[in-house]
A and B are shown apart, each in its own frame.
Chain A
Amino acid sequence: MISGLTPATVELRGLVKRFGKDVYAVNDVDLYIERGELLTLLGPSGCGKTTALRLIAGLERPTAGQILLDDEDVARLPAYLRDITMVFQSYALFPHMNVFENVAYGLRVARRPKEEIAARVDEALAMVGLEGLAHRTPSQLSGGQQQRVALARALVIRPRVLLFDEPLSNLDAKLRKRVREDIRELQQRLGITSVYVTHDQEEALAISDRVVVMREGIIEQIGSPHDLYTRPASRFVADFIGSANFLPGRYDGKEIDLLGYRWAHEQDIAAGPVTVMVRPEAVEFAREDEQAVDATVVSAAYLGAATEYLFDVAGTELFATMSGGGMSAAEKGDRVRLRLKPTAVSLLPAD
Chain B
Amino acid sequence: MDASPPSKAPRSRRLAAGLAVSGAWLPAALAIVGWWALPIGRPSRPFLTLQPDLYAVAIGHPLLWLALLGAVTALGLSFLPLPTARRGDLVLVAGTVGLASVVAWFVVSATPFGMGALLVLAGLVMLLGNALSESGRVQGDAFIASSILFVSLFVLLFIIYPLFTVLRSSIYIDGRFDFSVFLRTMQHPLFFMLGNERSAVDEVGLTLRWSLAGLVAFAAFALWRRAPWTRLVGRAILGGALGFVVGVLLYGNGALPTSLLLVSIVAPTATLLGLTFALLGQRARFGAVRRSLDVISILPIITPPFVLAFAMIFLLGRRGLITYNLLDMSSGWIFGLPGVAIAQILAFTPIAYLLLRGSLSSLNPALEEAAQTLGANAWVTLRTITWPLVRPGLAAAFLLSMIESLADFGNPIILGGNRKYMATEVYLSLTGRFNPNEAAVYGAVLLLMVLGAFFLQRWWLGGGSFVTVTGKPTSGALAPIPRALEVALTMVLFVWTVFVAALYLSIVVGSFAQLWGVNYTFTLKHYQDFFSGAGWAVFLFTARVAAISAVPAMLLGFLVAYLVSRQRFWGRRFVEFGSLLSFATPGTVMGVAYIFAFNTGPVLLTASATIIVIALVFRNMPVAIRAAVAGLAQIDPSLEEASTMLRAKSFTTMRRVLFPLLINTLVTGLIFAFVTAMTAVSQVIFLVSPGNQFATVLLLGWVDQGQLGRAAAMGTILIVSLLLAIVVVLQIARMLGARMVGVRT
Contacts and interface: CB of A to CB of B under 8 A. Distances in A.
Interface string B655-667: 0110011000000
Interface stretch (B7-15, B190-198, B397-405): B7-15
Given A8-B9, A96-B740, A80 B2 contact: no
A96 B141 CA distance: 25
Contacts of B9: 8-9, 35, 70-71
A95 B1 contact: no
Contact of A81 (B16, B657, B661, B742): B16
Interface in B1-35: 1-5, 8-12, 16-17
B638 A92 contact: yes
B647 interface: yes
Contacts of B528: none
A139 B742 contact: yes
A203 to B, nearest CB: 20
Interface in A40-95: 57-59, 61, 69-74, 76-86, 88-95
B642 A59 contact: no
A158 B17 CA distance: 19
A138 B644 contact: no
A38 B527 CA distance: 78
Contact of B638 (A88, A109, A222): A88
Contact of A85 (B136, B646, B649, B739): B646
B140 interface: yes
A273 interface: no
Given A9-B9, A71-B9, A86 B647 contact: no
Interface in A74-129: 74, 76-86, 88-96, 105-106, 109-110
B644 A79 contact: yes
Interface in B281-296: none
Nearest to A31: B2
B448 interface: no
Nearest to A157: B646
Given A32-B3, A90-B636, A139-B742, A74 B136 contact: no
Nearest to B11: A70
Contacts of B643: 94, 105
Given A8-B9, A74-B16, A92-B636, A138 B642 contact: no
Interface in B616-655: 636, 638-639, 641-649, 652
Contacts of B652: 109
B16 A90 contact: no
- Give the interface size bracket for B toward A: 35 or more
Contacts of A188: none
A309 B110 CA distance: 90
Contact of A92 (B11, B656, B661, B745): B745
Nearest to B568: A61
A210 interface: yes
Given A6-B10, A95-B742, A76 B136 contact: yes
Nearest to A105: B646
Interface centre among B8, B141, B638 (most CB of A within 10 A): B638
A85 B645 contact: yes
Contacts of A250: none
Interface string B722-740: 0000000000000000011
Contacts of A73: 17
Contact of A138 (B3, B638, B745): B745
Contact of B660 (A86, A96, A106, A224): A96
A110 B647 contact: yes
B12 to A, nearest CB: 7
B87 to A, nearest CB: 14
B741 interface: yes
B642 A70 contact: no
A109 B646 CA distance: 8
Contacts of B12: 6, 8, 70, 72, 83, 160
A227 interface: yes
A153 interface: yes
A74 B17 contact: yes
Given A9-B5, A32-B2, A210-B1, A80 B16 contact: no
Given A32-B5, A35-B9, A74-B17, A93 B645 contact: no
B139 interface: yes
A57 B647 CA distance: 12
B17 A77 contact: yes
B13 to A, nearest CB: 10
A95 B745 contact: yes
B743 interface: yes
B16 A138 contact: no
Interface in A243-279: none
A96 B657 CA distance: 8
Interface string A3-32: 000101101000000000000000000011
A90 B641 CA distance: 12
Given A77-B16, A77-B17, A95 B743 contact: yes
Contacts of A74: 16-17
**Quick one: which of A91, A94, A139 has the most chain B CB within 10 A?**
A94
A224 B2 CA distance: 10
A223 interface: yes
Contacts of A210: 1
Contact of B1 (A6, A35, A105, A227): A227
B85 interface: yes
B5 A106 contact: no
Interface of B: 1-5, 8-12, 16-17, 85, 136, 139-141, 636, 638-639, 641-649, 652, 656-657, 660-661, 739-743, 745
8 contacts: A59-B645, A80-B141, A80-B645, A86-B645, A91-B745, A92-B639, A95-B740, A106-B648
Given A72-B17, A83-B16, 19 more contacts: A9-B5, A31-B2, A32-B2, A34-B3, A61-B139, A77-B17, A78-B139, A80-B645, A80-B648, A81-B16, A83-B12, A84-B645, A86-B642, A96-B739, A105-B646, A105-B656, A137-B741, A154-B645, A224-B1
Interface of A: 6, 8-9, 11, 31-32, 34-35, 57-59, 61, 69-74, 76-86, 88-96, 105-106, 109-110, 137-139, 153-154, 157, 160, 210, 222-224, 227
